[in-house]
Structure formats: structure tokens, C-alpha cells
Amino acid sequence: MKTVLRYLKDYKIEAILAPLFKMLEATFELFVPLVMADIIDIGITNADKPYIFGKVFILVILGVVGLASSLTAQFFAAKAATYSSAKMRLELFSHLQKISFRGLDDIGTSTMITRLTADSNQVQNGINMALRLLLRSPFIVFGAMIMAFTVDVQGAIIFVVIIPLLAIVVSIIMGITIPLFKKVQGGLDKVLSSTRENLGGVRVIRAFHKEDDELEKFEDRNQTLTKLSLRVGKISALMNPLTFVLINLATIVLIYVGAIRVDNGVITTGAVVALINYMSQILVELIKLANLIILTNKLVASAARIESVFEIPVKEKNVDADAQKRAMDAPVSVELKGVSLRYHEEGDEAITNVNLMAKEGETIGIIGGTGAGKSTLVNLIAGFYEATKGEVRISGENIESLSDEYLRELIGCVPQKAVLFSGTIRDNLTMGMSRPVTDDELWKALDAAQASGFVREKEGGLDYEILQGGKNLSGGQRQRLTIARALARNPRILILDDSSSALDYATDAALRGAIRGLDSRPLTFIVSQRTASMLQADNIIVLDDGDVAGCGKHEQLLRSCEVYREIYASQFGEEAMQNEG
């Protein structure tokens, strides 16, 4: 709940006015049974029509003022709930942007989506209802009991007995359901994860005819969520019938005792009606309170889950301004000294004791089998992960002493998966740029990325609208646009992480030639499964299960590195390898 209160305090006025106006409405409502008692005992008994009309007018006034108070309260409650939850979602999203890649890997995408959507909505609805009913319902319940004492002390004893019983029932149900609601949200995470995986990998699933297996997996998760939901729903559903039974039993006792006391002339008929009305008010408010408790349980569970995300630490870099200035003035270089990385503390090392020195203008090839650690290595160079052992140095300075802003300006990174966003081609190419970029610069980047041809054919050219994820483009077109996006920044270090896998050999060769011909001559790292992409590299790093199996130029590796020879032979054949030798 700390999260909720932290954001709600910015709307203290609304959060105070909402329950106050609800209390005002409740106060007027508590006077209604007394007015009704007067109408019965005085107006009807004496057949005094003017008195009856006068009291009816008072009832109308109470109703109108109560309605105005209720609408005002709901306005302030909705404003506080909506704006506080909006601010919470914004800061939650901002916090997620700052969490390291390691932290994001631990949380999981489906969990983050659930926190930003379902959990945030639960918090918003819970705040709205709590501001309107959290004080009003108990106020009506205890106010009705107090007002009952002003009508008849002996009849009010029934209220004193029934209200603690109701409080016990509510507390027991609340204590059981709060932990269960947390489990329900956890089950929802798993269903969302399964759905997201299926939608993202639908082509793969159909290609391997795994629809039945995925359906079975989803059915298991869905059934687990359903059972949890039914269980907590059944327990929560006990609230209304139990409160109804207790209230109706109390009403029966009240009518019985009241009838006897009216016959004995101790109290009036109007007083009995007033007591029954107060009991009815308690019943109505307890129904509202039951719904509020259910929402509050969800609010508490969702708020705790959101708080758990905020508790994930965001590591602040110890940026050294002098070191960064020295790096900016020095020639670009990348040095890895005994670098190792373990994604999880208890897991194995993804790469082990890697040493590398690369200078400005060089092209470094990184090759190896699937899972060899190629992407891990370039992610360390880009600063996305922090090395478990050793250090990464950029232009002679430890990467941990350089700001992320500087690294993003220095390094142009093209990830394995080509990701485009909805918007124009121009919007995608200039994404994250801190300086204005001319169309000539964009076309130059597109030319180098071998993308200008198809972009010119699109209606609007640079203003062509791309759908979310680039769904209206082919895989090769998406890859070339992501490469152009990196080149448009004119980076001094360029990382191509298997970013030409969807390109044919001729286009791939033209792309590499264009990059070598760039005026800026960036230090280029090329991650690829194709040995053809490495032939002109100044240095090739061969990785095998996280270890460096070989290092050198193409001809050297063919003579000295068994892993490289196997990769080359698998692509060009043994005869070609012998000819090379």
C-alpha cells in the first residue's frame, strides 16, 4: 500500500474532499428514518396533511442535497484515482526503462505487461471505491447504531450485538482472500506469458505442427487460473449471504421485540419503522462494504506486485567526467580484459575469460555455433550488461565510468531481432537522435544499408507509414532499415549482431562493402553465422560454448582453429576448405 499512498498524496485535496462529501451524504441519509418516524407518529396518526407535506419536502431536500454531495464525492474520487494511477503507470514505465537488461530478464515480459495494465487498473478501481465507501460504509453502520439509541435504547442493543458479528465475518473472509488474490494474479501472469509466446511464435508453432501441444499447455495454465479464481470467488461470495442472514435475523428479532413494545405502549410504531430502516441501511452498506473488501483485496495484492517492481534496484553508474572527456578526445578502441559474464548468480558463465583489442577503422568478425556467446560478447561491448569478471574499456576508459548517453551516441547497435515501431520510415531512422538529421543524411544511410531502392518505391518515401513491428515489410527490408537506423547516427563503433541473416549473399556483400567505404570508418563488429561475412575482417573471434576457440584472420584460422574449419566446411564443403588451405 506504500505505493498507492505515495502517489495519492499528490492529490490530497481530492482524496480528502471525496470521503468528506460522502460522509455529508451519509449524514443526510441517517436523518431520513427519523423524518419517516415523525410522519407516521404525528402526521398520519393525527391526519395532519400540512405536517406530512412539510416533512415530505424535508425528505426531498435531504435527497437533493445528498445527491449533490454524492456526485461531488464521486467526481473527486474519480479524479484522485485516475490521476494518481496515471502517474503511477508513468513512473512504473519509466522505472522499467531504467532497469538493467539483467533485471528485465529476471522479471519477464508478461509480468511487466500485467503490472502496467491489469494491476494498475485494479489499483485505480480500488482507490476510486475506497475513497467513496471506505469511510462512508462504516460511518453509516455505526451512525445507524448511534441513531438507533436515540430512538430506543433497548431496541438498539440488537445493533450492538449484530455489528461485531458482522465485523468478525468480514475479517475472516478478508484474511483468507487476500493471499488467494495474489495467487490469481500470478496465474494470470502465466496465462499472459503463454498467450504472448503463441502470438509471437505463431508461424513457428504452425510450421512444426505444435498447435495441440501449445493448446494443452495453455489449457493447463488456464485451468489453474480458473480453479484459483473459482476458489477465491466462492470464498468472497460467502460475504453477501452471511451478512444477509445475520441482518435478516436481527431484523426479525427487531420486529418481534418492537411489536411487543408497541403493544405495551413503550415505543411508537414510527420508532419501530425507524429502527427497521436503520437496519436496512446497515444491510445495504454491508453489501457495498463486501464489494469494497473484494476490490480492496485486489488493490492490496496488485499494489504489492507493483511495489515489487519498484523495489528492483536501478544501478546508477559512477560516471567520471574526466574519464569521459579523455575517451571523447582519444581514438576509438575497444578492449576486453579477462571478461566473463554470468546471467544469473547460480548459472554457468555465458562467456569466459575473453581478451580482445580492437582499434578504430578495424572490422572484427565474431563467429561460432548457436549459444556460443556471440550476442553476449557484443552486448557487453554495448554496455547492456555488466561483466561478472574482468573489464570492458572504451577508448582506454572503463565502460562503467562512461555515461549511457555517451555510449549511445558513440555506439550504433543493430540487434539480432529487427524491431521497427509504428510510424514513418523517417521516425524510425531518427529514433533517439539528439541532433537534427537532414533527409540527405538519411538517404546516405539508406544507401549504405542497401535499403534506398525499396524505400524510394514506397508511397511517400521517407514518410511511408510502417505498421507496428514492421508487419507491412519483409524480413530483409526490416533488417536493412534497422541497419540504416544505426548508420544514420554516424557511430564511431558499429555492432551488427547477426543483422543480415535475412539478406541474400549478394546484398550482404554489398552491405559490407558499403560499410567499409564509409567516410567515418567506424570500428565494426560483425556477428554472423556465415564465414563469407568474415573473409575481409581484420580479426575474427571464434567462440565455442563461451570460450575463445581461435582468433586471427580467415587464412590463419583455417590452419589453426578446428571449430572455424568445421563451420567453413559446413558452408562451403571440404573441397573448398582444401583449396583455401
Write out pLDDT tens, residues 174-190.
778 878 877 887 788 78
The CATH number of whichever domain residue 398 belongs to comes to: 3.40.50.300
Which residues lie across from 169 on neighbouring strands? none
pTM for the model stands at 0.71
What's the rounded Cα separation, in Å, for the pair 314 and 322?
24
Q: Does pLDDT of 557 surpass 80? A: yes
All three cell numbers of 394, joined, read 572504451
Q: Is residue 120 part of a domain?
A: yes
Q: Is the pLDDT of residue 433 over 90?
A: no
Residues 302 and 333 in one domain: no
Residue 492 and residue 523 in contact, taking contact as beta carbons nearer than 8 Å: yes
Distance CA 341, CA 388 (A): 5
What percentage of the chain has pLDDT greater than the value 90?
18
| Grid cell locating 271 | 420508532
Residue 279: alpha-carbon gap to chain centroid: 44
If asked whether residues 249 and 352 sit together in one domain, one would say no
- Examine the domain organization and report whether 360 and 252 are in the same domain: no
C-alpha distances in angstroms, 117 versus 8, 92, 302, 312, 373? Answer: 18, 11, 11, 19, 34
In a domain, 273, yes or no: yes
Q: Are residues 82 and 147 in the same domain?
A: yes
Residues 253 and 327 in one domain: no
On whether both 289 and 368 belong to a single domain, the answer is no
Instruction: Map grid coordinates 462494504 to a residue.
Output: 289
Considering only residues 306 and 291, tell me which one the structure prediction assigns the higher pLDDT.
306
Residue 10 DSSP symbol: G
DSSP state of 42: I
Helix (H, G, I), strand (E, B) or coil at 386: coil
Polymer length of the chain: 581
Angle at 28 between CA 273 and CA 165, to 5 degrees: 60
Same-domain status, 293 and 428: no
In a domain, 455, yes or no: yes
* Alpha helices (H) along 201-265: 202-207, 211-237, 239-263
Q: Is 558 among the domain residues?
A: yes
Q: Give the type of residue at 350.
A: A
pLDDT band at 581 (very low <50, low <70, confident <90, very high): low
User: Binning pLDDT at 50, 70 and 90, where does residue 366 land?
Assistant: very high
What amino acid is encoded at 323 in this protein?
A: A
Instruction: Select, from the ranges 48-52, 57-61, 193-197, 234-238, the one with the highest average predicted confidence (pLDDT).
Output: 57-61
Is 298 a residue whose pLDDT tops 80? no
Does residue 315 belong to any structural domain of this protein? no
Residues 270 and 356 in one domain: no
Q: Looking at residues 270-285, what average pLDDT do you find?
A: 82
- The domain tally of the chain equals 2
How is residue 257 written as a grid cell? 421485540
Assess whether 10 and 122 both reside in one domain.
yes
Q: At residue 43, does pLDDT exceed 80? A: yes
Per-residue model confidence (pLDDT) at position 80: 92
Going by pLDDT thresholds of 50, 70 and 90, the confidence category of residue 417 is confident
**Same domain for 143 and 280?**
yes
Query: Which band of pLDDT confidence, cut at 50, 70 and 90, is reported for residue 571?
Result: confident
Q: Using one digit for the tens of pLDDT, what is the confidence trace for 447-493?
A: 999 999 999 998 889 999 998 888 888 888 999 999 999 999 889 99
pLDDT at 68 over 90: yes
What is the full DSSP assignment across 494-550? EEEESTTTTS-HHHHHHHHHHHHT-TT--EEEEE-S-GGGGTT-SEEEEEETTEEEE
Instruction: Show which of 310, 332, 355 is a domain's final residue.
Output: 310
CA distance 142 to 116: 38
Residue 467 lies in domain: 321-580
Contact predicate 362/313, CB 8 Å: no
Contact 63, 98 (CB under 8 A): no
Question: 271 with 160, same domain?
Answer: yes
> Residue 574: pLDDT above 70?
no
pLDDT value, residue 8 = 85
Nearest to 87 by CA among 11, 1, 170: 11
Which residue bears the cell 564509409? Answer: 518
Our CA angle for 271, 275, 277, nearest 5°, is: 115
Does residue 316 surpass a pLDDT of 60?
A: yes
Is position 58 within any domain? yes
Residue where one domain finishes, among candidates 282, 310, 338: 310
Residue 155 is placed in which grid cell?
Answer: 431496541
CA 366 – CA 349 distance, rounded (Å): 18
Given pLDDT bands bounded at 50, 70 and 90, which one contains residue 579? low
Confidence band (pLDDT; 50, 70, 90) for 575? low
Specify whether 289 is located in the same domain as 371.
no
pLDDT at 580 over 60: no
* Average confidence score pLDDT of the chain: 85
What number is the average pLDDT over the span 299-325? 83
Tell me whether residue 90 is in a domain: yes
> Does residue 199 carry a pLDDT above 60?
yes
Mean predicted confidence (pLDDT) in 153-182: 80
pLDDT band at 385 (very low <50, low <70, confident <90, very high): confident
Q: Which of 22-26, 301-305, 494-498 has the lowest mean pLDDT?
A: 301-305
* Predicted confidence (pLDDT) per residue in 88-145, tens digit: 999 999 888 888 888 787 777 777 888 888 888 888 988 888 888 888 888 888 888 8
**Cell 579477462 belongs to residue:** 338
Residue 280 above 60 pLDDT? Answer: yes
Return the C-alpha cell found at 142: 455505526
